[in-house]
Structure 1
Amino acid sequence: MIRKLTLALAILPLLASPAGAQAWLEGLARSAVEGVAREAVGRAVSGAAQPASTPGAAPAPSKATAKTSEIVRPSDLPKPAGAAEKKQAYEDFSRYSCSDCEGGRGYDAWARQILGQTGWNKWESKVGALAVGETLTWQGVKANGVLKVVSEDPVGGFPCKQIHYRLIKGAASAERDGLFCFGRSGPYSGSDTWVEVY
Protein backbone atom coordinates (compact mmCIF):
# COMPACT_ATOMS: atom_id res chain seq x y z
CA MET A 1 0.00 0.00 0.00
CA ILE A 2 2.78 2.43 0.94
CA ARG A 3 4.68 1.55 -2.23
CA LYS A 4 1.61 2.30 -4.39
CA LEU A 5 1.04 5.59 -2.58
CA THR A 6 4.71 6.56 -3.01
CA LEU A 7 4.52 5.71 -6.72
CA ALA A 8 1.31 7.73 -7.11
CA LEU A 9 2.90 10.74 -5.39
CA ALA A 10 5.99 10.44 -7.61
CA ILE A 11 3.89 10.30 -10.81
CA LEU A 12 1.46 13.08 -9.83
CA PRO A 13 3.78 16.00 -10.81
CA LEU A 14 4.43 14.33 -14.19
CA LEU A 15 0.72 14.21 -14.95
CA ALA A 16 0.15 17.86 -13.97
CA SER A 17 1.02 19.05 -17.47
CA PRO A 18 0.14 17.57 -20.87
CA ALA A 19 3.86 17.35 -21.76
CA GLY A 20 4.64 15.52 -18.51
CA ALA A 21 1.78 13.08 -19.01
CA GLN A 22 2.84 12.45 -22.60
CA ALA A 23 6.46 11.83 -21.54
CA TRP A 24 5.29 9.41 -18.85
CA LEU A 25 3.06 7.49 -21.29
CA GLU A 26 5.86 7.39 -23.89
CA GLY A 27 8.16 5.93 -21.22
CA LEU A 28 5.59 3.21 -20.43
CA ALA A 29 5.22 2.38 -24.11
CA ARG A 30 9.01 2.27 -24.61
CA SER A 31 9.36 -0.09 -21.62
CA ALA A 32 6.70 -2.41 -23.07
CA VAL A 33 8.40 -2.49 -26.49
CA GLU A 34 11.82 -3.14 -24.94
CA GLY A 35 10.33 -5.99 -22.88
CA VAL A 36 8.90 -7.65 -26.00
CA ALA A 37 12.24 -7.21 -27.80
CA ARG A 38 14.11 -8.73 -24.86
CA GLU A 39 11.87 -11.80 -24.87
CA ALA A 40 12.37 -12.26 -28.63
CA VAL A 41 16.16 -12.00 -28.30
CA GLY A 42 16.14 -14.46 -25.39
CA ARG A 43 14.17 -17.01 -27.42
CA ALA A 44 16.46 -16.57 -30.43
CA VAL A 45 19.61 -17.00 -28.32
CA SER A 46 18.43 -20.15 -26.58
CA GLY A 47 17.60 -21.78 -29.92
CA ALA A 48 14.30 -23.08 -28.56
CA ALA A 49 10.95 -21.51 -27.93
CA GLN A 50 10.64 -20.25 -24.38
CA PRO A 51 7.40 -19.29 -22.72
CA ALA A 52 6.86 -15.55 -22.52
CA SER A 53 7.79 -14.19 -19.12
CA THR A 54 5.10 -12.71 -16.96
CA PRO A 55 5.35 -9.08 -15.84
CA GLY A 56 7.47 -8.82 -12.72
CA ALA A 57 9.22 -12.15 -13.30
CA ALA A 58 12.99 -12.48 -13.43
CA PRO A 59 14.44 -13.10 -16.89
CA ALA A 60 14.39 -16.76 -17.93
CA PRO A 61 17.95 -18.09 -18.06
CA SER A 62 19.16 -19.26 -21.45
CA LYS A 63 21.08 -22.51 -21.99
CA ALA A 64 24.29 -20.50 -21.68
CA THR A 65 23.36 -19.27 -18.20
CA ALA A 66 21.70 -22.37 -16.78
CA LYS A 67 24.94 -23.15 -14.92
CA THR A 68 25.04 -19.68 -13.32
CA SER A 69 21.47 -19.53 -12.04
CA GLU A 70 22.42 -16.84 -9.49
CA ILE A 71 22.42 -14.30 -12.33
CA VAL A 72 18.96 -12.75 -12.18
CA ARG A 73 19.85 -9.13 -13.00
CA PRO A 74 22.41 -7.55 -15.35
CA SER A 75 24.32 -6.25 -12.32
CA ASP A 76 24.95 -9.91 -11.35
CA LEU A 77 26.92 -10.56 -14.56
CA PRO A 78 30.62 -11.20 -13.97
CA LYS A 79 32.95 -8.37 -14.98
CA PRO A 80 35.91 -9.18 -17.25
CA ALA A 81 39.30 -9.50 -15.61
CA GLY A 82 40.92 -6.09 -15.25
CA ALA A 83 37.74 -4.09 -16.01
CA ALA A 84 37.87 -2.20 -12.69
CA GLU A 85 41.55 -1.33 -13.16
CA LYS A 86 40.96 -0.12 -16.73
CA LYS A 87 38.03 2.03 -15.59
CA GLN A 88 40.16 3.53 -12.81
CA ALA A 89 43.04 4.28 -15.22
CA TYR A 90 40.53 5.87 -17.63
CA GLU A 91 39.16 8.12 -14.88
CA ASP A 92 42.64 8.96 -13.59
CA PHE A 93 43.63 10.05 -17.12
CA SER A 94 40.63 12.41 -17.18
CA ARG A 95 41.27 14.04 -13.79
CA TYR A 96 42.03 17.77 -13.62
CA SER A 97 42.39 20.34 -10.85
CA CYS A 98 39.32 22.44 -10.21
CA SER A 99 38.99 25.11 -7.52
CA ASP A 100 35.17 25.04 -7.53
CA CYS A 101 34.78 21.22 -7.70
CA GLU A 102 34.12 19.02 -4.71
CA GLY A 103 37.48 17.72 -3.51
CA GLY A 104 39.30 20.09 -5.87
CA ARG A 105 39.14 17.64 -8.79
CA GLY A 106 36.97 17.19 -11.85
CA TYR A 107 36.81 14.26 -14.29
CA ASP A 108 36.31 14.52 -18.04
CA ALA A 109 35.43 10.79 -18.01
CA TRP A 110 32.12 11.56 -16.30
CA ALA A 111 30.09 11.90 -19.50
CA ARG A 112 26.81 11.40 -17.62
CA GLN A 113 27.31 14.70 -15.78
CA ILE A 114 28.85 16.58 -18.70
CA LEU A 115 25.93 15.65 -20.99
CA GLY A 116 23.32 16.43 -18.30
CA GLN A 117 22.01 12.85 -18.01
CA THR A 118 21.98 12.62 -14.20
CA GLY A 119 18.31 11.81 -13.52
CA TRP A 120 17.19 8.27 -12.66
CA ASN A 121 18.07 5.97 -15.57
CA LYS A 122 18.55 8.90 -18.01
CA TRP A 123 22.12 7.95 -18.91
CA GLU A 124 21.38 4.24 -19.22
CA SER A 125 18.31 4.89 -21.40
CA LYS A 126 20.25 7.30 -23.63
CA VAL A 127 23.03 4.76 -24.23
CA GLY A 128 20.52 1.90 -24.59
CA ALA A 129 18.69 3.80 -27.35
CA LEU A 130 21.84 3.97 -29.50
CA ALA A 131 22.24 1.57 -32.42
CA VAL A 132 25.45 -0.25 -33.29
CA GLY A 133 27.93 2.25 -34.69
CA GLU A 134 26.26 5.30 -33.13
CA THR A 135 28.24 7.56 -30.82
CA LEU A 136 27.91 10.13 -28.07
CA THR A 137 30.56 12.82 -27.88
CA TRP A 138 31.38 15.37 -25.20
CA GLN A 139 33.86 18.15 -24.54
CA GLY A 140 35.52 18.10 -21.17
CA VAL A 141 37.78 20.66 -19.54
CA LYS A 142 41.06 18.96 -20.53
CA ALA A 143 39.95 15.98 -22.64
CA ASN A 144 37.24 15.26 -25.20
CA GLY A 145 35.37 11.98 -25.14
CA VAL A 146 33.47 9.63 -27.37
CA LEU A 147 31.31 6.63 -26.52
CA LYS A 148 30.58 4.19 -29.34
CA VAL A 149 28.25 1.17 -29.44
CA VAL A 150 30.48 -1.49 -31.00
CA SER A 151 28.11 -4.48 -30.91
CA GLU A 152 24.76 -5.68 -29.68
CA ASP A 153 24.98 -9.24 -28.43
CA PRO A 154 23.27 -11.11 -25.58
CA VAL A 155 25.31 -11.72 -22.44
CA GLY A 156 24.08 -14.16 -19.82
CA GLY A 157 20.63 -14.25 -21.39
CA PHE A 158 20.20 -10.45 -21.39
CA PRO A 159 20.11 -8.21 -24.49
CA CYS A 160 23.31 -6.14 -24.18
CA LYS A 161 25.25 -3.40 -25.93
CA GLN A 162 29.03 -3.47 -25.85
CA ILE A 163 30.44 0.03 -25.52
CA HIS A 164 33.87 1.52 -26.18
CA TYR A 165 34.87 4.75 -24.42
CA ARG A 166 37.76 6.94 -25.61
CA LEU A 167 39.20 10.16 -24.19
CA ILE A 168 41.62 12.32 -26.17
CA LYS A 169 43.85 14.89 -24.50
CA GLY A 170 46.35 16.43 -26.92
CA ALA A 171 48.38 13.56 -28.42
CA ALA A 172 47.50 11.20 -25.55
CA SER A 173 44.40 9.05 -25.17
CA ALA A 174 42.77 6.58 -22.79
CA GLU A 175 40.24 3.86 -23.60
CA ARG A 176 38.06 1.33 -21.87
CA ASP A 177 35.18 -0.99 -22.68
CA GLY A 178 31.75 -0.97 -21.09
CA LEU A 179 28.56 -3.00 -21.10
CA PHE A 180 24.89 -1.97 -20.86
CA CYS A 181 22.23 -4.68 -20.58
CA PHE A 182 18.43 -4.69 -20.52
CA GLY A 183 16.88 -6.18 -17.37
CA ARG A 184 15.86 -5.42 -13.80
CA SER A 185 18.09 -2.81 -12.19
CA GLY A 186 17.48 -4.08 -8.66
CA PRO A 187 15.43 -6.46 -6.52
CA TYR A 188 12.57 -3.95 -6.20
CA SER A 189 12.43 -2.84 -9.84
CA GLY A 190 8.97 -2.85 -11.34
CA SER A 191 10.10 -3.23 -14.94
CA ASP A 192 13.13 -3.90 -17.11
CA THR A 193 15.40 -0.97 -17.99
CA TRP A 194 18.86 -0.46 -19.41
CA VAL A 195 21.49 -1.06 -16.74
CA GLU A 196 25.18 -0.08 -16.84
CA VAL A 197 27.02 -3.28 -15.90
CA TYR A 198 30.55 -1.81 -16.05
Structure 2
Amino acid sequence: MWTGILSFTAVMLFALSQLTRPIQRLARVMSDPETVARFRRVEVRGVREAQLFAITFNALMARIADSQADLARQVEEAVREMKQQNAELVVARKQAEAASHAKSQFIANVSHEIRTPLHGLLGALSLLEKTPLSDKQNSYLVMIREDADRLLREMNSILDFSQLEARGLPLREQPCPLKKLLERVVKPFEVRAWAKKLRLT
Protein backbone atom coordinates (compact mmCIF):
# COMPACT_ATOMS: atom_id res chain seq x y z
CA MET A 1 0.00 0.00 0.00
CA TRP A 2 2.72 2.40 0.94
CA THR A 3 4.50 1.55 -2.28
CA GLY A 4 1.44 2.61 -4.26
CA ILE A 5 1.11 5.84 -2.34
CA LEU A 6 4.76 6.66 -2.86
CA SER A 7 4.50 5.87 -6.55
CA PHE A 8 1.39 8.04 -6.89
CA THR A 9 3.12 10.87 -5.01
CA ALA A 10 6.20 10.63 -7.22
CA VAL A 11 4.04 10.75 -10.34
CA MET A 12 2.14 13.78 -9.05
CA LEU A 13 5.34 15.60 -8.14
CA PHE A 14 6.77 14.90 -11.57
CA ALA A 15 3.59 16.12 -13.27
CA LEU A 16 3.52 19.19 -11.05
CA SER A 17 7.14 19.98 -11.89
CA GLN A 18 6.37 19.60 -15.58
CA LEU A 19 3.52 22.07 -15.11
CA THR A 20 5.24 24.63 -12.92
CA ARG A 21 8.73 24.60 -14.46
CA PRO A 22 7.76 26.34 -17.77
CA ILE A 23 5.55 28.77 -15.87
CA GLN A 24 8.41 29.61 -13.50
CA ARG A 25 10.76 30.08 -16.47
CA LEU A 26 8.23 32.35 -18.15
CA ALA A 27 7.75 34.30 -14.91
CA ARG A 28 11.52 34.81 -14.53
CA VAL A 29 11.84 36.12 -18.07
CA MET A 30 8.85 38.44 -17.69
CA SER A 31 10.09 39.83 -14.37
CA ASP A 32 13.60 40.49 -15.73
CA PRO A 33 14.02 44.28 -16.34
CA GLU A 34 16.20 43.51 -19.37
CA THR A 35 13.38 41.65 -21.07
CA VAL A 36 11.46 44.71 -22.25
CA ALA A 37 14.62 46.73 -22.82
CA ARG A 38 16.04 44.07 -25.16
CA PHE A 39 12.70 42.64 -26.33
CA ARG A 40 13.73 39.16 -25.25
CA ARG A 41 11.70 36.16 -26.37
CA VAL A 42 10.96 33.14 -24.22
CA GLU A 43 10.84 29.47 -25.24
CA VAL A 44 8.67 27.13 -23.22
CA ARG A 45 8.31 23.38 -23.73
CA GLY A 46 5.90 21.09 -22.06
CA VAL A 47 2.49 22.24 -20.92
CA ARG A 48 0.34 23.50 -23.79
CA GLU A 49 -1.17 26.36 -21.79
CA ALA A 50 2.29 27.63 -20.86
CA GLN A 51 3.33 27.42 -24.51
CA LEU A 52 0.31 29.49 -25.54
CA PHE A 53 1.14 32.01 -22.84
CA ALA A 54 4.73 32.18 -24.13
CA ILE A 55 3.52 32.64 -27.73
CA THR A 56 1.29 35.53 -26.64
CA PHE A 57 4.13 37.10 -24.67
CA ASN A 58 6.52 36.78 -27.63
CA ALA A 59 3.95 38.37 -29.95
CA LEU A 60 3.62 41.27 -27.51
CA MET A 61 7.41 41.70 -27.43
CA ALA A 62 7.46 41.70 -31.24
CA ARG A 63 4.83 44.44 -31.40
CA ILE A 64 6.74 46.51 -28.84
CA ALA A 65 9.94 46.06 -30.84
CA ASP A 66 8.19 47.15 -34.04
CA SER A 67 6.69 50.18 -32.30
CA GLN A 68 10.06 51.17 -30.90
CA ALA A 69 11.66 50.80 -34.33
CA ASP A 70 8.95 52.96 -35.93
CA LEU A 71 9.36 55.57 -33.21
CA ALA A 72 13.12 55.61 -33.69
CA ARG A 73 12.68 56.10 -37.45
CA GLN A 74 10.20 58.93 -36.88
CA VAL A 75 12.55 60.64 -34.43
CA GLU A 76 15.46 60.27 -36.83
CA GLU A 77 13.40 61.67 -39.70
CA ALA A 78 12.18 64.59 -37.56
CA VAL A 79 15.74 65.41 -36.50
CA ARG A 80 16.91 65.25 -40.10
CA GLU A 81 14.08 67.56 -41.26
CA MET A 82 14.80 69.96 -38.40
CA LYS A 83 18.48 70.12 -39.35
CA GLN A 84 17.54 70.76 -42.97
CA GLN A 85 15.08 73.50 -41.98
CA ASN A 86 17.69 75.11 -39.73
CA ALA A 87 20.19 75.07 -42.59
CA GLU A 88 17.62 76.64 -44.92
CA LEU A 89 16.82 79.29 -42.31
CA VAL A 90 20.51 80.14 -41.97
CA VAL A 91 20.82 80.52 -45.76
CA ALA A 92 17.64 82.61 -45.93
CA ARG A 93 18.83 84.85 -43.09
CA LYS A 94 22.19 85.41 -44.78
CA GLN A 95 20.44 86.22 -48.05
CA ALA A 96 18.09 88.65 -46.30
CA GLU A 97 21.01 90.33 -44.53
CA ALA A 98 22.91 90.62 -47.82
CA ALA A 99 19.84 92.07 -49.56
CA SER A 100 19.28 94.54 -46.72
CA HIS A 101 22.92 95.61 -46.82
CA ALA A 102 22.78 96.05 -50.60
CA LYS A 103 19.59 98.11 -50.30
CA SER A 104 21.08 100.30 -47.58
CA GLN A 105 24.22 100.80 -49.65
CA PHE A 106 22.14 101.69 -52.71
CA ILE A 107 20.07 104.21 -50.76
CA ALA A 108 23.20 105.76 -49.29
CA ASN A 109 24.76 106.11 -52.75
CA VAL A 110 21.60 107.57 -54.29
CA SER A 111 21.16 109.97 -51.38
CA HIS A 112 24.73 111.15 -51.79
CA GLU A 113 24.30 111.64 -55.54
CA ILE A 114 21.15 113.71 -54.99
CA ARG A 115 22.26 115.68 -51.96
CA THR A 116 25.50 116.84 -53.54
CA PRO A 117 23.85 118.90 -56.33
CA LEU A 118 21.07 119.85 -53.92
CA HIS A 119 23.60 121.48 -51.61
CA GLY A 120 24.94 123.30 -54.65
CA LEU A 121 21.44 124.53 -55.45
CA LEU A 122 20.94 125.74 -51.89
CA GLY A 123 24.26 127.58 -52.08
CA ALA A 124 23.19 129.26 -55.33
CA LEU A 125 19.90 130.25 -53.74
CA SER A 126 21.78 131.82 -50.83
CA LEU A 127 23.79 133.92 -53.29
CA LEU A 128 20.64 134.82 -55.22
CA GLU A 129 18.94 136.01 -52.03
CA LYS A 130 21.66 138.64 -51.65
CA THR A 131 20.82 140.22 -55.02
CA PRO A 132 18.11 142.86 -55.47
CA LEU A 133 14.80 141.15 -56.32
CA SER A 134 11.22 142.24 -56.71
CA ASP A 135 8.65 141.11 -54.19
CA LYS A 136 7.25 138.56 -56.62
CA GLN A 137 10.71 137.21 -57.47
CA ASN A 138 11.53 137.06 -53.78
CA SER A 139 8.35 135.06 -53.08
CA TYR A 140 9.32 132.60 -55.83
CA LEU A 141 12.79 132.37 -54.34
CA VAL A 142 11.34 131.63 -50.90
CA MET A 143 9.23 128.79 -52.34
CA ILE A 144 12.24 127.35 -54.18
CA ARG A 145 14.29 127.56 -51.00
CA GLU A 146 11.58 125.83 -48.95
CA ASP A 147 11.09 123.11 -51.56
CA ALA A 148 14.83 122.49 -51.74
CA ASP A 149 15.03 122.35 -47.94
CA ARG A 150 12.10 119.94 -47.84
CA LEU A 151 13.71 117.73 -50.48
CA LEU A 152 16.92 117.67 -48.45
CA ARG A 153 14.98 116.70 -45.33
CA GLU A 154 13.23 113.92 -47.23
CA MET A 155 16.54 112.57 -48.47
CA ASN A 156 17.90 112.67 -44.94
CA SER A 157 14.79 110.84 -43.70
CA ILE A 158 15.24 108.13 -46.33
CA LEU A 159 18.86 107.74 -45.34
CA ASP A 160 17.90 107.65 -41.65
CA PHE A 161 15.32 104.95 -42.37
CA SER A 162 17.95 102.91 -44.18
CA GLN A 163 20.27 103.26 -41.19
CA LEU A 164 17.40 102.33 -38.89
CA GLU A 165 16.91 99.06 -40.76
CA ALA A 166 20.64 98.33 -40.88
CA ARG A 167 21.83 99.32 -37.41
CA GLY A 168 18.88 100.61 -35.41
CA LEU A 169 18.80 104.38 -35.47
CA PRO A 170 17.29 105.76 -32.24
CA LEU A 171 13.97 107.57 -32.70
CA ARG A 172 13.20 110.82 -30.98
CA GLU A 173 10.03 112.81 -30.46
CA GLN A 174 9.83 116.46 -31.42
CA PRO A 175 7.02 119.00 -31.84
CA CYS A 176 5.46 119.39 -35.27
CA PRO A 177 4.54 122.93 -36.45
CA LEU A 178 1.33 121.96 -38.22
CA LYS A 179 0.64 125.39 -39.74
CA LYS A 180 4.09 125.62 -41.35
CA LEU A 181 3.78 122.04 -42.52
CA LEU A 182 0.49 122.78 -44.27
CA GLU A 183 1.96 125.92 -45.83
CA ARG A 184 4.86 123.91 -47.24
CA VAL A 185 2.40 121.42 -48.70
CA VAL A 186 0.23 124.10 -50.31
CA LYS A 187 2.92 126.44 -51.68
CA PRO A 188 4.09 124.21 -54.56
CA PHE A 189 0.52 124.22 -55.85
CA GLU A 190 0.33 128.02 -55.60
CA VAL A 191 2.95 128.34 -58.33
CA ARG A 192 0.84 126.26 -60.70
CA ALA A 193 -2.26 128.17 -59.71
CA TRP A 194 -0.53 131.54 -60.41
CA ALA A 195 0.66 130.24 -63.76
CA LYS A 196 -2.96 129.55 -64.69
CA LYS A 197 -4.10 132.84 -63.15
CA LEU A 198 -6.03 131.02 -60.44
CA ARG A 199 -6.29 131.81 -56.77
CA LEU A 200 -5.61 128.91 -54.44
CA THR A 201 -7.61 129.12 -51.19
Structure with greater strand percent: 1
Q: TM-score range by the shorter chain?
A: under 0.3
User: With structure 1 as the length reference, what TM-score do the two structures score?
Assistant: 0.21
